[in-house]
Amino acid sequence: MPFVAVDPSTGNEIRRYESISPAAAAEAASRSGEVQAQWSRTPFATRAGVLRRAAEILEDDADRWSRLMAREMGKPLAQGRSEAAKCASVLRYYADHGADLLADRRVQVEGGRAGWVYRPLGVLLAIRPWNFPLWQVFRMAAPTLMAGNGVLLKHAESVPGCAGATEEIFLRAGLPEGLFRNLFLEVEDVEGLLDHPAIQGVSLTGSVAAGRAVAAQAGARLKRCVLELGGSDPYVVLADADPDQALDRIVTSRLLNAGQSCISAKRVIVGSEHYEGLREGILERFRLLRVGDPTDEGVEMGPMAREDLRDTLHDQVVRSVDAGAVLELGGRVPRNDGAWYPPTVLSGVTPDNPAFREELFGPVAVLIQARNDAHALALANDTAFGLGAAVFTRDEARGEEIARDELHAGACFVNDFVRSDPRLPFGGIKQSGYGRELSPLGIREFVNAKTVWVAE
């Protein structure tokens, strides 16, 4: 079946791309393995040079990449340019620090010299989602390539142009041909590719269901696996919080990328002190949001990425209202073509409601009232997910203690919205996955920490 790019603003087809056969995918894996064997022996300085040139290409052609994302998945131009800049930052981070992060380690032992070295594993399969179509690729590829591995990319079917652009950028930067390959691979052919001996691991960002399937397939083959899955991030507003600060961060987080982010403010948990004020503030900000064609400068939110995703979200909203949530704003599918959905606010959500238990991947604010601070934190942790969390309080020391010891998530922020940064580990716990991307931990996920002992 072909991969089809559809403009979510109109529902019109943009372009079709033919999928690759399992035999051709296996050939690509073999070729990548051959090139990777040579790449693994190149100096860190050579690898870093390629990454820095790729960063320059991302920045120099940022308008091109932002328009591509706007057309294929509805991201506003300003957000697309920011995404390109963030991709450049992760490339430069590993170009600048990769050699030191993977430097040989020495240990004092009796009767000899010993330590360990980091060596690449081989070729990795990257399965990436559509919501940040460039960032999701480069945040995995930058450390993986800097460590000396190769990458085969199986991107989301709805962003084939973005997928091809990532390979183009690396080739223009001077990466050896075949080391990084974009494969228009069907989902049902992924498991067969994992059988290839060149493939030594897989990194997936996607749904819980996809994570379970890939983890089972990788585990059956004893191949390394990193999973970044869904989230239902709690944003907890304590009694002593600055409500204006909390409002600004919550709205920014929830509406970025039309709410299609694993780490956006999915559940806003507030005590009675601030509940009504935040409810009114969120309603006002949602009503004022500039929604429109994502290729128009100044638009703050475009359509959702696909109509089926919009329909899934709407079904969750309907079921949540049927279960007792109050629909304060939005919640209706527009009549116009495309994957449009309005900024929506649900209040009065309780733990038995679908909006509390499920991940709502779109522009829907979910408001939950807590009895007190202790109850708010208990509600925050009452979830199957554990990707991100945020707490708002004027007592920074207390906020840091809560973030360190009381909130159950892979990333906990105080008085700010959750986001990824190349310098910090990124990943989740529980149903949000395992393993880490970014930071020193990310570059060491897919290497062999090899002990070397020399007797004297």
CB 84, CB 65: distance < 8 Å: yes
Chain mean position to CA 284: 29
DSSP per-residue codes, 101-128: HT--EEEEETTEEEEEEEEE-SEEEEE-
How many CB atoms are located within 10 Å of the residue 15 CB?
13
Token reading at 406? 């009381």
How many CB atoms are located within 10 Å of the residue 215 CB?
18
Candidates 228, 358, 359, 437; catalytic one: 228
Burial category of 348 from C-beta neighbours within 10 Å (exposed 0-12, middle 13-18, buried 19 and up)? middle
Specify the DSSP class assigned to residue 332. -
SS3 category, 94: helix
Candidates 83, 262, 307, 359; catalytic one: 262
Angstrom distance (rounded) from CA 35 to CA 201: 17
What distance separates the 2 farthest-apart alpha carbons in the chain? 79
Token reading at 172? 């223009």
* Span between the terminal Cα atoms of the chain, in Å: 61
Angstrom distance (rounded) from CA 144 to CA 445: 9
CB 235, CB 274: distance < 8 Å: no
Element at 152 (helix H, strand E): strand 150-154
| Residue 228 a catalytic site member | yes
Which residues are marked as active site? 228, 262
